[in-house]
Structure 1
């Protein structure tokens, strides 16, 4: 089975902010922003699939042990370019095609310690 980018990958990417571990978003902030921009709750399965894909694509950085996630320089550039002139919900039309243009995502095993996601929600 060939891996493809999903709407959830784009949703997670669009819910992350910051430029590094010092100002990156916590998991709770990501979940809150995801709810704000899509009026739905992100699941742990969606998050743990998206994060390693986005890391492998060079779009985000992550330090789960410090509870911090952020856009890399490439991620910021992609987000700013694709979201220019779009409103809050513009990610739905802008980000998925941008991810697809990167080629197939790389799936790797990645997880959070037990209970971390539940506590963040």
Structure 2
């Protein structure tokens, strides 16, 4: 029994230090297709590159009558470099949440957020 409890504790400790992933429980349902169609381009042109500690980059994308707010934040205490493939995959994970979501990936030092909201982007 003790071995089982220690194994469970070790698994929970590892997963909690690696990633915090959560879909939002409330809010509007996102219109996913425009987000899927455009996130790779946003990751290649806006989100990829070097970030200083705590630096955030954001983008707004119109999706039908609504929009998505996307954020990538360096959660390391040092500089960090974002590659477009990691950005694309992690953002798609957040788009997969019907109402959007936010995740910390402590192992790679990033926080990603995709948040659908009512109305068009405010430019």
TM-score (norm 2): 0.27
Q: Name the structure where strand makes up a greater proportion of residues.
A: 2
Instruction: Flag the structure with larger Rg.
Output: 2
Structure-1-length-normalised TM-score: 0.27
